[in-house]
Amino acid sequence: MNIKSTAATLGAAVILAGAPAVALASAGTSSDPIAISDVQVQPADGGHGNGAGFVSVAFDNASSQTATEVVFELDVDGAYAENFNDVGNFTPGTTIKHAFQTDSSASDQQLKVAEVKFADGSTWVNDAGSAPPEPR
């Protein structure tokens, strides 16, 4: 883990979502800045007429300060696929529920917290995240 500010807390929430629309609980620790409590994945249909897929997440700000941005990383089959940026004022102890559209049709999708920005300007970064592929 890399802390860009001493005010940021340590930890990471990693959720594995293996089947379409299956809720999974967080395996995070009490020191995680963001605690994911629920993830549901509905993969895109892969051209079968049902359209895009979705990743729905419920999370709590487990830190003592207001978060202003949470960056979620979606990995597919163990490799980086895309990021979802959730921007707002996420006060400590409040459950937030959001859904993000994805084009991935893979059933092996994992969602984790990649970065958290706080109202005081500090940033927490999960160095365990996958690196996005280099532009070609």
- Residue 75 sits in a domain whose CATH number is 2.60.40
Residue 134 lies in a domain: no
Which amino acid is residue 103, in one-letter code? D
Give the number of domains in the chain. 1
CB neighbour list of residue 4: distance below 8 Å, 6 or more residues apart: 122, 123, 124, 125
Residue 64 lies in a domain: yes
The domain of 106 spans 2-125
Residue 27 lies in a domain: yes
> Binning pLDDT at 50, 70 and 90, where does residue 131 land?
low
Chain segment 110-130, per-residue pLDDT in tens: 899 999 999 999 999 987 766
Residue 57 lies in a domain: yes
Q: Is the dihedral of CA 131, 134, 135, 136 positive or negative?
A: negative
Average model confidence (pLDDT) across the chain: 75
Q: Quickly list DSSP for 25-68.
A: -----TT-SEEEEEEEEE---SSSSS--EEEEEEEEE-SSS-EE
Measured CA to CA, the distance from residue 85 to residue 97 in angstroms comes to: 13
> Binning pLDDT at 50, 70 and 90, where does residue 25 land?
very low
Residue 12 lies in a domain: yes
Residue 130 lies in a domain: no
The model carries a pTM of 0.70
Residue 131 lies in a domain: no
Tokens at residue 119, please?
A: 């109202």
* Average pLDDT of the residues in 28-49: 75
Residue 136 lies in a domain: no
Half-sphere exposure of 93 (CA within 13 A, CB side): 1
Residue 46 confidence (pLDDT)? 59
- The answer, yes or no, to whether residue 10 has pLDDT greater than 50, is no
